[in-house]
Amino acid sequence: MSHDKTIVIATRGSALALAQTNGIADVCRSAFPDLRFEIKIIKTTGDKLQSVPASASVQPLVKGLFTKELEVALLNGEADFAVHSLKDLPTELPDGLTLAAVTKREDVRDVLIYRDAETALRTPHSALRTGLEPHTAIRDFPDGATIATSSTRRQAQLLAVRPDLKLIPVRGNVGTRLRKLAERGEFDGLVLAAAGLNRLQIRISAEGKLTRGKDASATTEVPEGLLASHLPVEEMLPCVGQGAIGIEARNGDERIAAICRRLDDAETHACVLAERAFLRGMGGGCLSPIAALAEMTGDRLRLRGVSFQNGTIRRGEVTGVSAESDALGARLAAELKA
């Protein structure tokens, strides 16, 4: 149990998780100068599986593998709240825990990363020896190009646009994946979340080049010769909760609840509640590729969703007041399952 004036924040130890958690801790220290905030790094089952070659299993990582150990620490009183990429947090939480806050959302889009012509020519075993021009869209990739992503959601939406693409799984942290693309030529393109790149201070220049930011917190190396383009949400609807950080805490802990209220962004919270209700209505942690995005205008919430099951694509959209986020998500799920 932490000391009265020490708040223990649980997090994974990846570069992205630490970037997110350090940002949260900085906000907390500024808002609550009389408290001490300590970061506790916990290795999850998902972290251990990241080192397993993607080819060793054809199944994607199951939801909860990146959160369970953090939740155990919360329930055991070893941490006061946990910081998650909200897309990793299952829709059903353990008894005694709650989604106490959701921070302001980052860019929800996915990013397509690929080699420029010079880099492609010197990459061994490259399938795409000619390289690509800046700002290349997925529709303009050469026939049969190989794209790396382990996400069934991304795979299904890529194939909906380009059924000729070859898709392969990929594991490892962001830096490892970028090196595989730039140096090994195992694939022609890579899809990553824009929010994760932004939090790691990895930027896309006006010329379409992928670069490392100049901030001292930019520690992930970015190989030279990589280009990047944002995938429009009309082609690549994001994962539920993508771009948002979720704060999980114990029910009934008013001291931590007061801290979480300072971290919470009401608009983002309403949007992700709708998305999570939709995912829960579609089966929660099922492996079928499901995507959703909620956006607000005033007090009106628009929720779009897509489901790919048994070779069938189902798309839908509902609108309503933000106070009915859960009901809107459940309604859209019912419509797509009808």
Q: Give pLDDT tens digits for 2-55.
A: 447 899 999 999 999 999 999 999 999 999 999 999 999 999 887 777 655 544
User: Residue 303 pLDDT more than 90?
Assistant: yes
Q: How many residues does the chain have?
A: 338
Nearest CA to 205 out of 227, 190, 177 is that of 227
- Which pLDDT score, from 0 to 100, does residue 309 have? 82
Q: Give pLDDT tens digits for 61-111.
A: 566 788 999 999 999 999 999 999 999 999 999 999 999 999 999 999 999
Residue 308, C-beta contacts closer than 8 angstroms, at least 6 positions apart = 152, 156, 157, 160, 288, 289, 290, 314
* Better-scored residue on pLDDT, 268 or 117: 268
Look up 88 and say whether it is catalytic.
Answer: yes
Q: Give pLDDT tens digits for 118-168.
A: 777 676 665 555 678 899 999 999 999 999 999 999 999 999 999 999 999
- Which pLDDT score, from 0 to 100, does residue 184 have? 81
- Which pLDDT score, from 0 to 100, does residue 2 have? 47
User: Residue 58 pLDDT more than 50?
Assistant: no
| Domains of the chain, each with CATH number or no CATH | 1-103+244-264 (3.40.190.10), 110-231 (3.40.190.10), 265-338 (3.30.160.40)
- Which pLDDT score, from 0 to 100, does residue 1 have? 40
Q: Are 74 and 249 in contact (CB under 8 A)?
A: yes
User: Residue 247 pLDDT more than 80?
Assistant: yes
Residue 252, C-beta contacts closer than 8 angstroms, at least 6 positions apart = none
- Which pLDDT score, from 0 to 100, does residue 60 have? 47
- Which pLDDT score, from 0 to 100, does residue 220 have? 85
User: Residue 312 pLDDT more than 90?
Assistant: no
Q: Give pLDDT tens digits for 160-198.
A: 999 999 999 998 899 999 999 988 878 999 999 999 999
User: Residue 287 pLDDT more than 60?
Assistant: no
Task: Compute φ and ψ for 22, nearest 5 degrees.
Answer: -60, -35
Q: What percentage of residues in the chain have a pLDDT greater than 70?
A: 90
How is residue 152 annotated by DSSP? H
Annotated catalytic residue, options 88, 110, 116, 188: 88
Residue 127 burial by Cβ neighbours in a 10 Å radius (0-12, 13-18, 19+):
middle
The sheet that has 6-11: what strands, in order across it?
Answer: 36-41, 6-11, 81-85, 245-250, 97-102
**Structure token pair of residue 165:** 């693409």
- Which pLDDT score, from 0 to 100, does residue 114 have? 95
Taking the chain, what is the end-to-end CA distance rounded to the nearest angstrom? 48
pTM recorded for the entire structure? 0.90
Average confidence score pLDDT of the chain: 90
User: Residue 219 pLDDT more than 90?
Assistant: no
